[in-house]
């Protein structure tokens, strides 16, 4: 039985039937959206995992080199070497629309095109480990940017998938069954009304014929004669 009370009228029935058609169509569309989002998300998240493993390993290695560099240089020398960077990275952020989710796409540009500009110090007073560390990080930078792009996309898509899944479930398990139930209820109620007025009419007709022709009195007289 439906939780809400519905008016058993023809107008309500037409309205509910229209609602059911819309709900069905929405359900199909949303289900397709969810499936497609899920497919793309799983592809993306696998890439995300692989990339993150790679980046984490890379940073770990670079950090080891930094530790070595720090061991063989004084803190001041290290600060002097790194505190005035020559290179700068800018990002151009665009968005790409994947199944109505706006995911970011980054294009990076560096201030100077020379790849050796990552070394912001002279090579005379610094340890070779520092060069290694900076070089490793620089090699990692494209992956780091790609990771940012993919991980953000994954987060956004995950949120959208959750929302879509809720909507699909609400339609599938609440809205559509409830509407169908209500439609059945109204149809039965209308049929019932129809039958009851039919019987009432038949009864009235009988009564009118009776009062016009006095069938039962005539039948009684015939009984008495025979």
Partner 1 sequence: MYKIAVMGDQDSIYGFAALGLEPFSVTDPQEAERTLRDLAQGEYAVIYITEALAAQIEPAIDRYRSAGLPAIILIPGASGNTGRGMTAVKKSVEQAVGSDIIFGGE
Contacts with partner 1 by CB under 8 A lie at 38, 41-42, 45-46, 48-49, 52, 55-56, 59-60, 62-63, 66-67, 70, 78-79, 82-83, 85, 87-93, 95, 102, 104, 106, 110-111, 118-120, 133-134, 137-138, 141, 144-145, 147-149, 151-152, 154-159, 161-162, 165
CB distance 149 to 60 below 8 Å: no
Q: What is the DSSP letter of 192?
A: H
- The tokens describing 169, both together, are 């479930």
Q: Per the structure block, which two tokens stand in for 90?
A: 């800018």
- Greatest Cα pair distance, the chain, in angstroms, is 144
- The residue among 185, 165, 174 whose CA lies nearest residue 17 is 185
**Block residue for tokens 């989002």:** 37
Helices 215-225/176-213 angle, 10° precision: 50
Contact 43, 99 (CB under 8 A): no
């Amino acid at each position: 039985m439906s939780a809400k009370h519905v008016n058993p009228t023809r107008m309500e029935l037409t309205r509910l039937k229209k609602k059911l058609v819309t709900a069905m169509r929405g359900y199909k569309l949303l289900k397709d959206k969810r499936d497609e989002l899920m497919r793309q998300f799983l592809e993306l998240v696998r890439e995300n995992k692989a990339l993150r493993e790679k980046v984490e390993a890379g940073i770990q290695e670079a950090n080891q080199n930094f530790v070595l560099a720090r061991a063989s240089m004084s803190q001041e020398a290290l600060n002097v070497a790194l505190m005035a960077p020559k290179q700068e990275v800018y990002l151009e952020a665009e968005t790409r629309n994947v199944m109505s989710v706006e995911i970011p796409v980054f294009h990076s540009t560096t201030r100077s095109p020379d790849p050796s500009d990552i070394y912001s110090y002279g090579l005379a007073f610094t340890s070779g480990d520092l060069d290694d560390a900076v070089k490793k990080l620089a090699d990692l930078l494209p992956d780091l940017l790609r990771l940012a792009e993919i991980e953000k996309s994954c987060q956004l898509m995950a949120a959208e998938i959750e929302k879509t899944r809720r909507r699909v479930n609400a339609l599938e398990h609440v809205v559509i069954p409830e509407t169908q139930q209500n439609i059945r209820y109204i149809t039965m109620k209308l049929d019932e009304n129809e039958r009851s007025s039919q019987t009432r009419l038949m009864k009235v007709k009988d009564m009118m014929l009776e009062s016009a022709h006095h069938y039962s009195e005539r039948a009684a007289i015939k009984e008495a004669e025979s």
